[in-house]
Structure 1
Amino acid sequence: MGNKVKFNLCNAHYAPIKAGENGESTFGTPAALPGAVSISLDPNGEPESFYADGIEYYIINNNMGYDGDLELAMIPESFRTDILKEEADANKVLVENCNSETGSFALLFEFDGDVKKIRHVLYNCSASRPKIESKTNEESKEVQTETLTVKARPLASGYVKAKTGDATTQAVYDKWYEAVYMPASSPAVEAAQASALSAQTISRTATSATVEKESDTKKS
């Protein structure tokens, strides 16, 4: 049986995106973002209609990811240096430089459920610098949180996000925070790819055999 309800954001992590030598991006090892308070992300991009012949002829998909906020008790220094690109000087003071470009990252987190935690990953995120704010104590102390404005965009492959489902394998579920999960091909897709590869191999073999036969005929 699957979850009926969800509640309680927890176990947030981030994984820096690294540019590879061949132009492909890879993910670093997920690191904890402790103190997650709330997350609220709205879809970016709505379907658009194309009209022809006096009717709604085609609906254009316009999935541009999500925009919103991630609220934390306090942003950890590792995130400030890895993603916001603040620099620690010789005295371990964090310095913000206007010439630094912020980095991209995958955002991982989970919601509690009545049966099992639901684990999520947003593949291609960026975060803006948080506000500097606090206020004096009054009759009681009030914790001042910090908020990251997050933009989650599609990868070059088109992938935006993934989350665990009712039938997700235990092995994948248990290793969710060890490495960023990337979609696996379905058996049907793998079979089609194998069939296409086999057909290409047979075609190349047949072509090679034909060329060799023609070469032998010319020699004789």
Structure 2
Amino acid sequence: MEAGKVLTGLDMFHIAEVLKDTKDELEFSVPEELPGAVNMKVDPKSETETFYADNVAYAQMSSLGDIDGEMEVADLPLDMQARIFGKTVENGIHFSSADDRALEIALGFRAKISTGGYRYYWALKGKPELVPIEHKTEEGKPTPQTSQVKIKFMPLTNVKEGKRRWEAKAEEGNGINAETWFKQVVYKDITKGETPVVDVGKQFIERLRALFLYEKGGTYMEALSITLRLDGKDKKFVTPDHITGLLFRKAAKIADDFESQDSERLFTNEQVEFVCNTFGQKFTPDEFEKGIDARLVGRTIYAAAQYVLGNIAEATALLNSGEISNGEEPGE
């Protein structure tokens, strides 16, 4: 930055979900603006060790340590909290659970430059901590009460595209402005071409359309079936004619859990309960866990999620490719 420039102010918080960050794939959702920016702090730490030889400091070796972040906003809306922290919402009531899993997010913002223009930032991948509940009674005059979110940032896993980067920043000019910077997460040069993003709104519509299969002018949905061994006998269970729409959001979350390949997000009590609900509570979570073949547990949970999302053929193929049958009787 040239001499005489001073950074002042903060605005235009943007949040995007890290949809995929693996060795082979890197995808982000379309950023969403979060109004009410108050304060932002990103504190990267380096770990340095001195190597001695010939009785002197011979070399300095440094590595990236923890990257602590803290975001303060006028308010973090409940709907945004539900999405970020994986909370369940039922008829407008937001529930927190021990099985909630926070999303990995990218965070963008900008600071004003005293001589004109802005400096833009993206912190590329972080895991937010739960928002503390803290309110204070009024003492004669209203006291603003903001929301503070602590975030542990980290480098991207992807090497080919993400190059293990954890931050991007640039000053206005050369094609960099609010419109170009915040329309995607910037993890590579955007002045030469567009960074690929995933429009989650479009994905939602496509999944919704896939829920319906039309046959002779009517609506038809093929049933999904699983086999459980109960009381020493194989019993077959099929999905009911109607599956409540309340399961759709949970299905999307479970599908993302499995596609993340994060072992901490797999085989939770919530996922087992989801399978039971998908099959109309014809068996209990305990019966499912005891009755399902151990080799098919993950495939069955993922298939149930895909089925509710409308990916009927994929769900059926997942279960059919793993059938292990020794004769079965109808379930309840």
User: Deviation digits for residues 156-194 of structure 1, max 9, x if unmatched?
Assistant: 23201011136x52256631111111223999xxxxxxx
Query: Is 1:131 paired with 2:132?
Result: yes
Q: Which residue of 2 aligns with 1:200?
A: none
Total equivalences in the alignment: 185
The answer for unaligned runs of 5 or more in structure 1 is: 188-220
**1:112 is matched with which residue?**
112
TM-score, normalising length from structure 2? 0.51
Structure 1 CA distance for aligned equivalents of residues 16 and 154 of structure 2: 15
| Partner Cα separation in structure 1 for residue 110 and residue 93 of structure 2 | 32
Would the aligned equivalents of 2:12 and 2:109 in 1 still touch at CA under 8 Å?
Answer: yes
Counterpart Cα distance in 1 of 2:176 and 2:42: 28
- In the TM superposition, what whole-angstrom CA distance separates every residue of 1:128-161 from its partner, at most 9, and x where no partner exists? 0111110111210111111001111111232010
Deviates more, 1:118-127 or 1:13-22: 13-22
Query: After superposition, what is the alpha-carbon deviation per residue over 1:28-58, rounded to whole angstroms, capped at 9, x for unaligned?
Result: 0101111111112222223322223333333
Q: Deviations over 1:193-212 (max 9, x none)?
A: xxxxxxxxxxxxxxxxxxxx
Higher relative contact order (CA 8 A, sep 6+): 1
Aligned to 1:190: none
> CA–CA distance in 1 between the matches of 2:138 and 2:191?
56
Task: Provide TM-score, normalisation by structure 1.
Answer: 0.75
Q: Return the offset for 1:109.
A: 0.4
Deviates more, 1:32-41 or 1:176-185: 176-185
Identity of aligned residues (%): 25
* SS of alignment partner, residue 138 of structure 1: coil
Corresponding residue for residue 158 of structure 1: 164
Quote the RMSD (CA, aligned, Å). 2.6
Question: What is residue 189 of structure 2 aligned with on the other side?
Answer: 184
Whole-angstrom distance in 2 between the partners of 1:61 and 1:186: 31
CA distance in structure 1 between the aligned counterparts of 2:130 and 2:74, rounded to whole angstroms: 15
Ranges in structure 2 where 5+ consecutive residues have no aligned partner: 158-162, 193-332
One-letter code aligned to 1:104: E
The equivalent residue for 2:8 is 7
Change (3 A) 1:63 1:20: closer
Secondary structure of 1:163's counterpart equals strand
Question: For residue 145 of structure 1, what is the aligned residue in structure 2?
Answer: 146
CA contact (8 A) 1:65 1:154 kept: no
Is the 1:164–1:173 contact (alpha carbons within 8 Å) kept by the matching residues of 2?
Answer: no
Aligned match of 2:60: 59
Structure 2 counterpart of 1:43: 44
Distance change (3 Å), C-alpha of 1:112 and 1:185 = closer
